[in-house]
Amino acid sequence: MLELLILYILNKYDCTIYKIQKLIEEMFFIFSCPSLGAINPALKRLEGLNCVEFNSIMSEGGKLSKIYKITPFGLKYLKETISLFDFKNPAHLLNNIKVCISLSDILDEDQKEKFNFSAKSKLQILKADIENRLNDPYILYNNLQCAILKGEIKEINALINLIENDFNDEN
């Protein structure tokens, strides 16, 4: 997911690794707060995929800095990865969908439709699974666990509504 955040930032700005970190912290603080030690290897992976490139420049203080920018392939990769994101792990599903929703403004209509369909389907499946588990007499949840699961259902419903309203507003 960090690679998607980096590509999204670089789609908007050409920047150094420090600026990437700062912008991720500002824009996506609720989802991710990566260290430079996490961003640097992610940038190297993206370089290896030809998704980003950099120019080295010398600052007035004599320090060499790398200015990263997204490549045309990187933008295509970002859009396709968001629109076709495979939401597999239920433990990360809600967070990953929220991240992808927050990045989806860069998608074209066809990609957004694919993303919305996939995200909504996965959310509906997760909601049904939670409801089935809550109603299963053989699973003994305590009151706090039940309250948390019911809160997750409310959050899922809110995300489904957000997806539906976003898609309907654009048509």
Q: In angstroms, what CA-CA distances link 153 with 12, 95, 102, 121, 157?
A: 34, 14, 20, 14, 6
Interatomic CA distance for residues 81 and 20, integer angstroms: 20
pTM over 0.85: no
Domain boundaries, the chain: 2-78, 85-170
Interatomic CA distance for residues 119 and 111, integer angstroms: 12
Q: Quick one: DSSP state of residue 51? A: S
What confidence tens digit (pLDDT) does each residue in 76-111 have?
999 998 988 887 788 888 888 999 999 999 999 999
Contact 46, 113 (CB under 8 A): no
What confidence tens digit (pLDDT) does each residue in 11-32 have?
999 999 999 999 999 999 888 8
What confidence tens digit (pLDDT) does each residue in 111-159 have?
999 999 999 999 999 999 999 999 999 999 999 999 999 999 999 999 9
2-78 classified as CATH 1.20.1080.10: no
Residue 57, pLDDT score: 87
